[in-house]
Amino acid sequence: MSARIAGLVSKQVEQLVSNKVEKRDVNRKEKSESTTTPSGERVSISEAARDVAAAKSRVSLLPDVRSERVEELRDAVANGSYDVDSHAVADRLLRETLLDLLL
């Protein structure tokens, strides 16, 4: 069983690293837009920076707490129907730990 888990994790790590390398290569090839400030300084903003700014703007509009989800979980815990998938939790912990180590 542990060999099976190690194989799955290894495959997932390879995919994550491959995706990270591809994104890095794409980011290096991105165009940037330059403007000159009134004081004569030159400012350059990449497409990725504009995308990040737009995403941050959209995320800031979202509520900090998903009240509906909190209420669902609270009810499930109260009536004893809350079930934790221990395999999914372990998988997520391993994946995040490996990513932290790799990046």
pLDDT digits (tens, 9 = 90+) for 35-87: 766 777 777 778 888 888 888 988 888 888 889 999 999 999 999 999 999 99
Question: Is pTM, for the whole model, over 0.75?
Answer: no
CA separation, residue 92 to residues 43, 97, 102 (Å) = 40, 8, 15
- Phi then psi for residue 41, to 5 deg, are -80, 145
Whether the predicted pLDDT of 9 surpasses 80? no
